[in-house]
Amino acid sequence: MNIIKKTVRAVLICAAALFALSLTACGKSEFTMTENTGKRMVISAKNAGKDGFFMVGSLDAEEGDKIAIVSDLSKGEIKVEIIKAEEEQSMDKLPELDGEPTLTGDMKGDMEISGTVPAGSYMLKATCVEKATGTVTIEVQEP
């Protein structure tokens, strides 16, 4: 009888431990912009789900500036697209959301891409390609 009690107790302890682990594995998911100035944006992902996306504006570049995209992702992949905003914008007309990207990066791990862009305002579209955790920083840099 003593062996049965010990076995049942061991099984219950293992079940409780597995349950606790399963709760932590189902942690909160985040995919958001944590900083957004005219020259710098930071994307933050915490267990961000595949196919999550958002679009925000605006980065402001002067002639000769470059835009750098730097990732610090412990897992997953985030696609970043920098899209030039139309010059004429008004409250009556929505911006073009499917414009051709000026700069694109499929960001994984620790990587950096950059490119010189024409002067103007730019929107950022971020898409979670694979479940991701970490940050991606987008910054306008002077020459």
pLDDT in tens, 101-138: 999 999 999 999 999 999 999 999 999 999 999 999 99
pLDDT in tens, 54-76: 999 889 999 999 999 999 999 99
The percent of residues in the chain predicted with pLDDT above 70, rounded, is 73
Q: Map out the domains of the chain with their CATH numbers.
A: 28-141 (2.60.120.380)
Q: How is residue 67 written in tokens?
A: 């835009």
pLDDT in tens, 32-51: 999 999 999 999 999 999 99
Contact 82, 75 (CB under 8 A): no
Phi and psi based region of residue 134 (left: phi greater than 0; alpha: psi -120 to 50; beta: remaining): left
For residue 39, the model assigns a pLDDT of 96
| Sign, Cα dihedral of 16, 21, 22, 24 | positive
